[in-house]
Structure 1
Amino acid sequence: MLGSTAAHALELKGRLEWVHKIDMRVMENGIVETVKITTGQHVNKDDLLLRMDQRKQKAALLEAKARVARAKLSLEDSERDIARTQELFDRGLIAEEELKDGELKQAVVKTEAESAKAAEEAAQVALDHTELKAPFSGIVAANNAWQGAVVFASKQDQPLISLAPDDQMLARVLVTADVLRQYPVGAAAQVLVNGNSRSGKVYSRGVEAVRIEPEGAIYELDIIFQRNAKELLRPSESVKVVLP
């Protein structure tokens, strides 16, 4: 597992890993209308990855917008009514009870307007949930979505799309506890990828042992480094890590 490259340096064989990966699923039942990506494709933040059939959600949003428009008109009418009622009360032409009735009616109209606005926002969210967009720039690690597929939000056994950032990668090596203690997070390291040396630093240190060997417990040590532009690196590729 370990090999010496200098008096105080260690050369370790490791493998590449994503810094992290997210699994994406839709939150609305429906039929996949279009898939914009393929596995291995690079995408930019906010790029559209997948769209479900949106007709039902668009119809619900239109209905909600119409309800908001009606509520706005009712609210304007109620404001004119309460203004007239207040004027009559100030002139002593109506009793206080009539003013309170007018204020109560206006409060009900305001509540209905707020409810209509909330329904519109919920309809907009439901429409937004029919699309999957890239939350960051990265590479499509897996694509399990196909045009015409029927998707049930509560029965997605596997993610439709998996996305990983590809501007940085991890080089993961296995070390003993003694070695782990020598290299805190942020410590400098070198990663040899395809014959090229990259500057990196310790990203994380394992807490639980992955296995027990005669020399002791073995832990994961992750080194993070920048990917070169236009270079495609894949998890599980072999690399070498030099720890000074």
Structure 2
Amino acid sequence: MNTRTTTPTFALCCILLVPVLLLLSAAPASAAQVSGRLEWLHKAELRAVENGVVERVLVTPGQHVDKGEVLLRMDQREARAAALEAAARVARGVVGLEDAERELERTQELFDRGLIAVEELKDAELNQAVAVAELESARAAQAAADILLERTELRAPFDGIVVARNAHDGAVIYKTLQQAPLVAVAPTDRMLARVLVTSDVLRRYRPGQPAKVVVRGEPREAQVYSLGVEAVRIDPDGAVYELDVVFESRPDEILRPSEFVQVTLP
């Protein structure tokens, strides 16, 4: 008797419950909001490639620089002298080749008229080939000298901000003993927001997925940039990894690494 009266009620409850369960299973997971910190997208550490003396450091930390701007200049006297000598060698090579070509032309004319033997023509051809080789060698030496001269200056590889300066005017630099970069530059058009997540959270995302970053109270559009491969620590809940999102920053603002931000992951 009791079974007959409760069965319809139970069946009705099941019918009403099924749509609710379907809605819950179809609902997307809520976005994850985590705290993170800012990092440079990347940083260029500039060092001297040759021994020398610092003539002048032209920048200070926090200074904005344009791509190609000179940051530091080494003493250039020796490099300039080598470049001048290389240029003079090229000039001598040009003159020598011109003389060899004229001599070959004259010898060819005499040979065609039957006035000289073939051996003399071959000698003239050989001298012209040697002059060509000497000129090419001189040009190669000039290119190498020009590169060495260029290397006496450290230039900004991109628009950015100077984040470190470890050299001063008059410092003696040995290329094999540079423990720290002379100057370091980081781009300012984009920044990273780094958060720490467990492996369960990490595997939900792929580079390029949209995200949001709240910087100093202002929301910014962002996207997942990279996923950590090695754990930074092991917690009771499991391994913890780095997840980086990237966003654009404005030229008129100075964002610094280690500032705290809020990151919203889809």
1:157 is the counterpart of 2:179: yes
Q: 1:92 aligns with which of 114, 139, 155?
A: 114
Percent identity, aligned pairs only? 60
More strand by share: 1
Match of 1:23 among 26, 30, 45: 45
1:181 matched residue in structure 2 = 203
The aligned counterpart of 1:125 is 147
Aligned-pair distance for 1:153? 1.6
Matched, 1:34 2:56: yes
TM-fit CA distance, 1:212: 1.4
CA offsets per residue over residues 103-124 of structure 1, 9 Å max, x none? 1111111111111111111111
- The residue aligned with 1:229 is 251
Instruction: Choose which of 79, 83, 90 in structure 2 pairs with 1:61.
Output: 83
Task: Please identify which structure carries the higher helix content.
Answer: 2
Q: Which amino acid in structure 1 is aligned with residue 52 of structure 2?
A: G
Q: For each residue in 1:70-89, what CA deviation from the matched residue of structure 2 results, as whole angstroms up to 9, or x when unmatched?
A: 11111100000000111111
Pairwise CA RMSD of aligned residues?
A: 1.2
Q: What residue number does 1:51 align with?
A: 73
Whose radius of gyration is greater, 1 or 2? 2
**1:148 paired residue among 143, 150, 170:** 170
Offset, 1:229: 3.1
TM-score by length of 1: 0.95
How many residues in Structure 1 have an aligned counterpart in Structure 2? 239
Please give the per-residue CA displacement for 1:90-111, whole angstroms capped at 9, x wherever unaligned: 1111111111111111111111
Q: Which shifted more, 123-132 or 28-37? A: 28-37
* AA at the equivalent of 2:140: A
- Give the gaps of 5 or more residues in structure 1: 1-5
SS of equivalent to 1:45: coil
Q: CA deviation at 1:183?
A: 1.6
Using the size of structure 2 for normalisation, the TM-score is: 0.87
Cα distance between partner residues in 2 of 1:193 and 1:221: 17
SS at match of 2:176: helix
